[in-house]
A = this chain, B = another copy of it.
């Protein structure tokens, strides 16, 4: 009898499991990504590729890419700005970083894809994963235009040592993705020297000086922002990133640019003639390389140049009887470094535009706090209001990235953006995180403030105050020339780490001048992610300072100022640098707990608030000013 009941229970249990599995299958079958992955797997079989990698990249290893390059999103559903998909016949895995753990898990649900949380215990690196899941004789594949030379060479070597082959010849997503958008094509425009602060001729001369130092007679680049910077031009091929799809090659006495014919205006043509720039067609670049006579050594950044550009140059050299290893000079991009250091014109313009941009944000904060709970408001409508204010600023071009407006637990997803339905409704309680910025002719802004909309918990106040400690400790640091972001990061993280807390993202990134809002080579993080992370700070560099606290399912806090690196003086012991803020928007008084702030940070916030009042006060109306005075009163 007991046994019968036991067996019956087991049957019921098994039936429940079957139903559960059926439900899962039905759910999976409904998921469009399952079908897309199946189609990709068919293509993989045809060309004998056992694991195919789809990074988040265009042909220029850009961070943000045009819609036609969003193959990773097409196949996985994950919409984040970074992440890599590897598809095999029996599985598919998506690597995402800490900013996207929550969002990615949500978006890939039902696709059958496994989320690999980068940096978490037990999560293999892509390299380790490939080594573990491919056997000798099998083939790993990806589109050689979409990975860097460094990555391609590294994978070829480590996989090769296991007898795994590598094939970079195929754009398999292109075969499956029938309604793939066209390559973007928008007119190229000239950035006047009154905004660029330096002529293209002068920049070319500086590049040639580095080429000479490095014994190179040629520099090749497939990196869009540095090409734009070098020639003082801008494009419109990536939303919020005013770049034009392009390749460039600079020799001792000539400069070549390859862009789409459709992007060339008369104005650009005249400008190109003036600066002796030879303009070729974008689609002809690889043919150009095949026949180009490389005379001396070739300089490039292996972490930026695409694998396929390198391979084409290598083949061209070998056809001329040379060994590529003997003729290439690899180094961190000299243009990327030059670009990162603002000249006097840029510094002056940045200082101006940051004050105007901060004033807009401050007006928005006032409007938000005044109206929340009184007029209908969603994450999306609030963002739209801020975007609308920003668009009215003189010299406004476009947003520097989609405004992040995240309420309550949505803010725990660092790069959350409200959907087309407007996202969550804002209520007069808890916190709203808004991370936003604009491109203006006078510079590019990026700022985050987290605002209380009504009653908040003591835990929220503590987390906000710890974040303020982090932010201001970094802002206040003095450091020896030669220090890089890895040297400085702990100044921001120390208040978190001491409480066994951490935020799963870098503390700071460079900010381009009407280019990419995230740009290198400088960064602030505690461990090295790429070669450029060790680039020392130099006066004129801009860097974000954006620590935070993110509690999944609860809330997210971030306070972000952009800082300018400045000289602090030279003694017999060396030359010292520090930072000065460009952003001047008030912190949230209701979220600051002076018992959590360190005495030093409390003093720093008071000084900062006095500057905020002085600098953006003049932009406020009477009502706003009265409020701002109160917000900025000494703590």
State the A residues within 8 Å of B (CB): 119, 121, 131, 158, 160-162, 215, 297, 326, 329, 477-480, 482-484, 486-491, 493-494, 496-498, 500-502, 504, 526-528, 534, 536, 568-571, 573-576
Contacts and interface: CB of A to CB of B under 8 A. Distances in A.
11 contacts: A160-B326, A161-B326, A478-B498, A479-B490, A483-B527, A487-B526, A491-B494, A497-B576, A500-B568, A500-B570, A501-B571
A568 B502 CA distance: 14
Contacts of A497: 477-480, 576
A567 to B, nearest CB: 11
A27 to B, nearest CB: 28
B487 A490 contact: yes
A257 B472 CA distance: 56
Contacts of A329: 161
A215 B491 CA distance: 40
Nearest to A121: B575
A491 B489 CA distance: 11
Contacts of A482: 119, 526-527
Given A121-B575, A478-B498, 5 more contacts: A478-B500, A488-B490, A500-B569, A501-B573, A504-B573
B498 A480 contact: no
A498 to B, nearest CB: 5
Interface centre among A119, A297, A482, A490 (most CB of B within 10 A): A490
Contacts of A526: 479-480, 482-483, 487
Given A215-B162, A484-B527, A497-B576, A490 B477 contact: yes
A160 B297 CA distance: 11
How many copies of this kind of chain does the complex include?
2
Given A487-B490, A490-B487, A500 B576 contact: yes
Does more than half of chain A's interface fall in helix, strand or loop, or is it mixed? mixed
Contacts of A161: 215, 297, 326, 329
A584 to B, nearest CB: 24
Contact of A573 (B162, B502, B568, B575): B502
Contacts of A490: 477, 479, 483, 487-488, 490-491
Contacts of A568: 500
A582 B570 CA distance: 37
A278 B559 CA distance: 62
What are the 5 closest A-B residue pairs judged by CB atoms, nearest first?
A502-B573, A500-B571, A161-B215, A487-B526, A486-B486
Contacts of A162: 215
A85 to B, nearest CB: 25
A576 B570 CA distance: 36
A126 to B, nearest CB: 16
A543 to B, nearest CB: 15
Nearest to A214: B161
A574 B160 contact: no
A321 B114 CA distance: 43
Contacts of A488: 490
Contacts of A160: 326
B477 A494 contact: yes
A55 B352 CA distance: 53
A486 B486 CA distance: 6
Contacts of A121: 575
A486 B70 CA distance: 36
A536 B484 CA distance: 17
A573 B487 contact: no
A569 to B, nearest CB: 6
A553 B488 CA distance: 32
B491 A573 contact: no
A431 to B, nearest CB: 19
A158 B570 CA distance: 33
Contacts of A534: 527-528
Contacts of A479: 490, 493, 497, 526
A324 to B, nearest CB: 12
A496 B33 CA distance: 56
A527 B478 contact: no
A483 to B, nearest CB: 5
Contacts of A491: 490, 494
Contacts of A571: 500-501
A630 to B, nearest CB: 31
A298 B510 CA distance: 40
A162 B215 CA distance: 7
A482 B493 CA distance: 13
A628 B67 CA distance: 72
A164 to B, nearest CB: 10
A574 B297 CA distance: 46
B215 A502 contact: no
Given A161-B215, A162-B215, A329-B161, A502 B487 contact: no
A534 B487 CA distance: 11
Nearest to A552: B572
Contact of A502 (B158, B480, B489, B536): B480
Contact of A487 (B131, B489, B496, B569): B489
Nearest to A568: B500
Nearest to A488: B490
Contact of A527 (B297, B487, B502, B575): B487
Nearest to A297: B161
Nearest to A327: B161
A158 B497 CA distance: 42
Nearest to A536: B527
